[in-house]
Amino acid sequence: MTLAQIVAAGIFVTTFVVILSERLHRTIAALVGAVVMLIAGMALGFYSQEQALAAIDFNTLILLLGMMILVRMLQHTGFFQYMAIKVAQRTRGNSLALFVALGSLTTLLSMFLDNVTTVVLIVPVTILIAEILGISPVPMLMAEALLSNTGGVATLVGDPPNVVIGSAAGFSFISFLTHLAPLVLVAWLVALFVLRFVFRRELGARSANVEALAQLDANAGLTDRTAMRKILIVLGAVIVLFFLQGALLVTPGFIALAGATAALLWVRPNVDETLRRIEWGVLLFFAALFVAAGGLEASGVLRTIADGMAELAGASLLGASLVMLWVAALLSAIVDNIPFTIAMIPVIEQLGFLGINSTPLWWALALGAGFGGNGTPIGSTANVVTVALSEKTRTPITIRVWVRSGLPVMLVTCTVASLLFILFFGWMQTH
Amino acid sequence: MIGSCMKRPAISVAPSTTVQEASQLVVVHHIGTLPVVDARGLLVGVVRLEDLLQVFMPDFVALMDNIDFVHDFGVLEALRPQDVRAAARLTMHDLMQPPVAVKETCGLLRALATMSRHEIRDLPVIDAAGVLVGIASRVDIAVAFFASWVQPELPT
């Protein structure tokens, strides 16, 4: 290894560890990593400012920004609350039905909208419903956190690693649906059964007051019906355009931002207030990580890793894919899956340049990064948020609860994904 | 001045007072604010009725912006204070907020403005050493303020 490679790897790993330790806000940690990487790169001559700028994947940032604007506008109308109440009322207070219904709603919403927002908005309503029914909210909350991560794997826009992978690999929205959605469906069913088994005692409890659930007035929860209708129409159009994206030859980022623009034009919200609710810190975190990972790539470290993987992939592409899936899963369980995904991108791209079919590796990365996040309470932001919200209640989700429910879900879904991956490996080699 | 319209001595609690003992004072004296004093009588905190009731509130109330659509609290309405387990282990030390207090010489308008700014209904009064000497409610102060303007009705 050259000095540049040692320095670049040192900076990136330190950034990774600092993000993991949570001693510093992750956005600051990533920014420091990016700045130090660029200084080292210019001093040692392996990384320039132009390269750093080029390393930022603006399609990812714009796609995230566009979807954030749409979700923030929709959130304000009370739509999520309305949906959760409507779905819950259909179950007539049966705790098992409620568990399946709220879990499925979260999965469906998180396939298209950002997981954290979905969870932040659905969890309080779930706690409300569980409390007035006199049942434990824990199985529902765990289902929401775990199934939002699982559902997010199914689409190009479902979770941030997929956005990054789709953009880097150039996979279309339809391609994600045809390759990952069927796997996710099976994994989702399995996850639901695992949770049903783990929480069989809680889910057997009878609701003490079903009338109170029927008394909830979903319509009164809607604060702005007109705006909600408009934003849902725009969101529907955006999803339709995602399907046509391949034929239209436009990027998903452009579609999302155009959609957000249309919604802003049509609804005319208070722009300052809407923009204040955007998680700029998250976007900056991504940009900084792209710059830091770009330095790692420019130094040649990732090429060394790619060369190592190329040997393995040359011997067995399936083996390399499964290694990718499990390494991504295990790392995503203990750290944020975004830095790892961003660092893996140049590695897989490099394998492509070496003449290896990198397509199955991309799918394996998406599956591992997505399902792995279920393993621990810190595996994904949705988990962190759910645990934090539950800590404000009398039935907090403890590590023990997570180890007996989240961890088995992660291990079982990754195993199921691996088996299906082996079974349909031919299909996984296409995109 | 607030010193002339406050109630003295104020009914107060110690940091170690339990939720049940505090609720007993609320019931017996029909009061909404409990100043917390240490062994030397120094005002160290204030427990408002809201803080005390928070222990018994459903969890979702704190988590949701809007609860207007919840027309029925269901099984929660059947809850008795003694059913809430957390209440048994909490003391005033856990519930108290930093105190907002004034000196006896504080003017009535300043007292009313202070209460309005801090969204409190009762204002503890302390001496120069910080020892609790009395407490005035918003009504006590407003009554003192309007007194010179309103003709007291003569008993018939």
What DSSP line would sit under A221-252, residue for residue? H-S-HHHHHHHHHHHHHHHHHHHHHHHHT--H
- Predicted pLDDT at B154: 63
Sheet holding B102-103, edge to edge: B102-103, B122-126, B132-137
Backbone dihedral region for residue A155 (phi beyond 0: left; psi -120 to 50: alpha; all else: beta)? beta
- Predicted pLDDT at A103: 93
Average pLDDT over residues A372-390: 88
Chain-chain contact of A132 with B59 (C-beta, under 8 angstroms): no
Grouping H, G, I as helix, E, B as strand and the rest as coil, residue A214 is: helix
Average pLDDT over residues A126-143: 91
Question: Contact A304/A1 with Cβ under 8 angstroms?
Answer: yes
Nearest to A124 among B63, B69, B72 (CB): B63
Here the tokens at position A119 are 């969870």
Nearest CA in chain B to A388: B63
* Helix H or strand E segment including B124: strand B122-126
Cα→Cα distances B107→B115, B127, B147, B150, Å: 12, 15, 15, 19
Percentage with pLDDT > 90 across chain A: 58
Non-local (6+) Cβ contacts of A62 within 8 A are: A251, A253, A254, A256, A257
Chain-chain contact of A221 with B74 (C-beta, under 8 angstroms): no
Of A79, A132, A391, which to mutate for an interface test with B (greatest number of B Cβ within 10 Å)?
A132
Nearest CA in chain A to B75: A132
Contacts of B70 in chain A (CB under 8 A): 128, 132, 215-217
Of B54, B57, B59, which to mutate for an interface test with A (greatest number of A Cβ within 10 Å)?
B59
- Distance of alpha carbon A395 from alpha carbon A141, whole angstroms: 11
Question: Contact A256/A71 with Cβ under 8 angstroms?
Answer: no
Of B69, B73, B84, which to mutate for an interface test with A (greatest number of A Cβ within 10 Å)?
B69
Gyration radius of chain B over CA positions: 18
Q: Which of A36-40, A239-243, B84-88 holds the top average pLDDT?
A: A36-40
pLDDT value at A355 more than 90:
no
pLDDT value at A213 more than 80:
yes
- Predicted pLDDT at A11: 95
Average pLDDT over residues A23-32: 90
Task: Give the distance from residue A393's alpha carbon to the nearest chain B alpha carbon, in angstroms.
Answer: 5
- Predicted pLDDT at B155: 64
pLDDT value at B5 more than 80:
yes
Task: Give the distance from residue A193's alpha carbon to the nearest chain B alpha carbon, in angstroms.
Answer: 28
Average pLDDT over residues A249-266: 94
Grouping H, G, I as helix, E, B as strand and the rest as coil, residue B18 is: strand
Percentage with pLDDT > 90 across chain B: 66
Grouping H, G, I as helix, E, B as strand and the rest as coil, residue B36 is: strand
Question: Contact A180/A380 with Cβ under 8 angstroms?
Answer: no
pLDDT value at A325 more than 80:
yes
- Distance of alpha carbon A387 from alpha carbon A398, whole angstroms: 8
Chain-chain contact of B66 with A81 (C-beta, under 8 angstroms): yes
- Predicted pLDDT at B156: 58
- Predicted pLDDT at A220: 84
Nearest CA in chain B to A130: B60
Nearest CA in chain B to A82: B69
Those residues of chain B whose CB sits closer than 8 Å to some CB in chain A are: 58-60, 62-64, 66-76, 86
pLDDT value at A335 more than 80:
no
pLDDT value at A208 more than 80:
no
Average pLDDT over residues A396-415: 93
Nearest CA in chain B to A219: B69
pLDDT-based confidence at B30, cuts 50/70/90? very high
Question: Contact A187/A373 with Cβ under 8 angstroms?
Answer: no
> Which tens digits make up the pLDDT trace of B46-84?
999 999 998 888 888 888 877 888 888 888 888 888 888
pLDDT-based confidence at A222, cuts 50/70/90? confident
Average pLDDT, chain A: 91
Average pLDDT over residues A312-322: 89
> Which tens digits make up the pLDDT trace of A55-76?
999 988 999 899 999 998 998 8
- Distance of alpha carbon A374 from alpha carbon A408, whole angstroms: 9
Average pLDDT over residues A402-427: 94
Backbone dihedral region for residue B130 (phi beyond 0: left; psi -120 to 50: alpha; all else: beta)? left
- Three-state secondary structure along A323-382? HHHHHHHHHHHHCCHHHHHHHHHHHHHHHHHCCCCCHHHHHHHHHHHHHHCCCCCCCCHH
Chain-chain contact of A216 with B70 (C-beta, under 8 angstroms): yes
